[in-house]
Structure 1
């Protein structure tokens, strides 16, 4: 498989501050935007996007800093904040003619989706988050030796220079490590798709690190401000996760309930790359969400 979703049209769309995103669009019907995670591109949605395109206009961008989208230099803490990346997605949808749309994200894309739901509640009709916690809570639950599973979060939180050099020196091994250990079904990511993920990540080390660095700094500040102000997600929200709580000792559903009034939370037997490992399950989750 190449670097495209078969049957989808591709275009480049200019969003805020001159950044252009690579986006795949397919299907007809109400708009649904799907945001990928790490270390992936929009290709992670290939099965889900095809399955939903009969009833929806499915929009799959590469996030800024990832895939074939632009990768601006990290000028300040806002360049890769989730607030900035969420504004990209709202601008993208508007450019495609959609002032209101449903939004689903996996991993990093889910953090962008949550920020979009908090910052742009009038634009987001429904929201789904796959296998992630909101940024503030993610840092709060990581402690002791159990936090070793998230070593990459701490590495990429460091000031510019060292993490970029370390990762660039062995990029395929670094990014491939996560593709290997996070997948319960390695066959779900075929060799051609894996090669595309590694190529895209290898070419995006500075921007990927900047994205993670923002999540250890300004993204936490934004979440704290929302929590202090009592801001919550007002739209229907669906969350699908592995059973992290059992491993790390917290109640994931309770964490999400603190952010979302209208919540459906479920766990899955699939691995982290659930949209590729269990696409039928994720399609059912999204269809159920959109019917609420």
Structure 2
């Protein structure tokens, strides 16, 4: 069975939700939508799909309408033309088009990992649309790269491997896609046993698709080039997020604390709060109750 095209595979993780299948801005978005209340856009990270939110969606759906897509090129969200590159700015534009197509003119955003960087760009470029933004486990790419040391490089070697010029990473990944994604997830979750087999199967299936692997490589190439350049321009100009910002940071990162991350994000916004979550990198999957509690204390109930 192809888990990505099977209509029930994704919905089995989100009881009571319906499929999201919308084509806008050269993306056919796949995912789920459900719940009641003000709109809340949830954006997953590398190397996952929208099911990364499976453990917190049911609770949040009691208070918010959740829009949970695969990022463009990830999972089952298919992109059309690949030129120009899918930078975070282009991803943010497509997500804005998705939300407006669904009838949402204002909404909150929660992003993890790559999704948080897309959410950051969305909130920065479309300040009139985003009512609140929560970043899980990351800071903007400019700040992340300025703090790189040998420990970061060793643990996060995929940043530098996946961002190599097109062709080489894709060829090497094709040789052993399961081994690569399993290594990534095991590192992030402190062992594959911390991800249930059904979810792991979805993640493996997505990464076996060469188009998805290429899109992920392009995501990292954009991060190390266009995304960082644009962050630098915005930092120099003093451009800031206008909405409240929340920072949730894992205890597994020994180099930093939530307080450090709040300091970094305070260079980008005037209203920043946050806390440490006892977990590894995959916060919504490893510590869902703590994430739920943090988000409920931060997110606006009404638009």
Same fold at TM > 0.5:
yes
Q: Is the 8 A contact 2:87 2:227 kept in 1?
A: yes
Quick one: which of 250, 262, 267 aligns to 1:253? 262
Relative distance call for 1:230 and 1:185 in structure 2 (3 A) is same
* Distance of 2:254 and 2:266 partners within structure 1: 18
Following superposition of structure 1 onto structure 2, how do residues 88-167 of structure 1 map, counting pairs within 5 Å? 88-167=94-173
Q: Name 2:9's counterpart in structure 1.
A: 2
Superposed CA deviations along residues 52-92 of structure 1, whole A, max 9, x for unmatched, are 1111111100110111111345323xx31000111111111
RMSD: 1.9
Quick one: which of 250, 254, 273 aligns to 2:282? 273
* Distance of 2:52 and 2:77 partners within structure 1: 15
Q: Name 1:234's counterpart in structure 2.
A: 242
Does residue 35 in structure 1 map to residue 43 in structure 2? yes
Quick one: which of 56, 65, 69 aligns to 2:73? 65
**Matched residue of 2:54: which SS?**
helix
* Distance of 2:43 and 2:53 partners within structure 1: 8
Q: Is the 8 A contact 1:244 1:252 kept in 2?
A: no
Shift of 1:188: 4.2
Q: Name 1:283's counterpart in structure 2.
A: 292
Q: Is the 8 A contact 1:185 1:271 kept in 2?
A: no
Q: Name 1:172's counterpart in structure 2.
A: 178
**Matched residue of 1:3: which SS?**
helix
* Distance of 1:244 and 1:254 partners within structure 2: 19
* Distance of 1:98 and 1:88 partners within structure 2: 14
* Distance of 2:251 and 2:198 partners within structure 1: 29
Q: Is the 8 A contact 2:39 2:104 kept in 1?
A: yes
Structure 1 range deviating more: 180-189 or 127-136: 180-189
* Distance of 1:246 and 1:123 partners within structure 2: 35
Shift of 1:185: 6.7
Superposed CA deviations along residues 83-105 of structure 1, whole A, max 9, x for unmatched, are 01111111111111101000000
TM-score by length of 2: 0.90
Q: Is the 8 A contact 1:111 1:134 kept in 2?
A: yes
**Matched residue of 1:220: which SS?**
helix
Q: Name 1:48's counterpart in structure 2.
A: 56
Q: Is the 8 A contact 1:65 1:71 kept in 2?
A: yes
**Matched residue of 1:47: which SS?**
coil
Q: Is the 8 A contact 2:241 2:268 kept in 1?
A: yes
Shift of 1:167: 1.2
Does residue 210 in structure 1 map to residue 218 in structure 2? yes
* Distance of 1:73 and 1:177 partners within structure 2: 30
Relative distance call for 1:251 and 1:55 in structure 2 (3 A) is closer
Q: Name 1:181's counterpart in structure 2.
A: 187
Superposed CA deviations along residues 77-136 of structure 1, whole A, max 9, x for unmatched, are xx3100011111111111111010000000000000000010001000000010111011
Q: Is the 8 A contact 1:141 1:248 kept in 2?
A: no
Shift of 1:248: 6.4
Structure 1: any 5+ residue segments left out of the alignment?
A: none
Shift of 1:287: 1.2
Structure 2: any 5+ residue segments left out of the alignment?
A: 1-7
